[in-house]
Structure 1
């Protein structure tokens, strides 16, 4: 994914009400940016951190600025949860995700299960339909170890159970964790933060749901998947 316009550098003043952040731009102007991230953003919202914003030219937007990246200990982190589905879809279509290659069609946001929508549905090519759920990973508490989730997510546990249901119906199901950080080499589930999600994760694996985890190459110009990252217990 390439940012459509150059990002604007600033300094984080505070994040509040989940979806708002006050930022001081490099020129000294104070603005309020939209934060497209419902999680806790643990470790990514400290006052004074360097951030990068995109600026929309849509006159109907109440908040034209969106928070895209933050720099933490020299690493860039993508915090916008609106991007991962598109990043993964582009990579699949470009043949960059070997485990998900060989399908004829890719469709996004397809209704399935119980009042759910799958992020990506792969079909054709003589293969069973493949249901791919994408999760954005930004949490790091230990050296080089990415974790998910960063807060309790009943919705995330539901998605795992929906994927299990697809496997039981004879389809292929994949949970794809995209680490939007440049400083992690391994991944695990943050069971201490959400033990219910951790239990659902274990049950999903036992039922045949596949786990794929990639890190990202991140610059102030683009974000794209990097390498496969091992999942540890």
Structure 2
């Protein structure tokens, strides 16, 4: 899985109003890019960081550039576009990269479910011996050293998703929380109790109720010197639930 067009490198000037970022291109031109990330992007927006933008030819778009990647710290890349993880996860599942989710013949996206009127990211069905699997995908970019954390801000929506997953297990199906680790410097994932302790507590309750939690890391390779950056999930990453 890769970007359809070559990415454009620049330098981050600032992110503001959550969804906007000023970027300086190599020719000195300053552009405003869309920042498709509702989180805090903690540790992913250092001043003057190298960033990579995708460019749209859609004349109806207000902003032609989208912020995709950032060099979060020297030698470590992060994908900050939260529209990417669902596609990364689906591609990896269908390619057989995630054995825990193998054997299903059908993968549907954004299926309505639950008492709290949610949409599941991926619904897997058609397995010979396993019940349907309801897969919630979360993007992990907050790194402190080699430790990755989720969430990077208090998330009531994330808490709702965990309650919905618990209900699916009670209904006899599988429920899976899949962390897509979109930061090359992260070697382990754990709940960010120092940011959202309620989420961490509920995540551990969900595991006790039978919700499965797995994490897979993206390669994010091919950026430096290669215009066709890839987003493939390649390696499992440990999930540490110790408080």
TM-score bucket of the superposed structures, by smaller chain? over 0.9
Q: TM-score, normalising length from structure 2? A: 0.94
Equivalence for 1:129: 132
Please report the RMSD computed on the Cα atoms of aligned residues, expressed in angstroms. 0.8
Q: TM-score, normalising length from structure 1? A: 0.98
Asked if structure 1 preserves the Cα contact closer than 8 Å seen for 2:97 and 2:234, the reply is no
Query: Where has structure 1 moved over 6 Å in runs of 4 or more?
Result: none
Shift of 1:215: 1.1
Equivalence for 2:162: 160
Aligned pairs for 1:64-213 within 5 A = 64-71=64-71, 72-113=73-114, 114-126=116-128, 127-141=130-144, 143-213=145-215
Q: Which runs of 5+ in 1 are unaligned?
A: none
Residue by residue, what CA displacement relative to the aligned partner does 1:23-57 show, whole Å, maximum 9, x if unpaired?
Answer: 00011110000000000000111221110000001
Asked if structure 1 preserves the Cα contact closer than 8 Å seen for 2:134 and 2:165, the reply is yes
Shift of 1:125: 2.1
Residue by residue, what CA displacement relative to the aligned partner does 1:98-120 show, whole Å, maximum 9, x if unpaired?
Answer: 00000111000000002100000
Equivalent position SS for 1:223:
coil
Shift of 1:199: 1.0
Give the whole-Å Cα distance in 1 for the aligned partners of 2:123 and 2:11: 39
Shift of 1:73: 1.9
**1:50 matched to 2:50:** yes
Shift of 1:193: 0.2
**1:229 matched to 2:237:** yes
Give the whole-Å Cα distance in 2 for the aligned partners of 1:125 and 1:194: 35
Q: Which runs of 5+ in 2 are unaligned?
A: 224-228
Asked if structure 1 preserves the Cα contact closer than 8 Å seen for 2:12 and 2:22, the reply is yes
Give the whole-Å Cα distance in 1 for the aligned partners of 2:78 and 2:26: 19
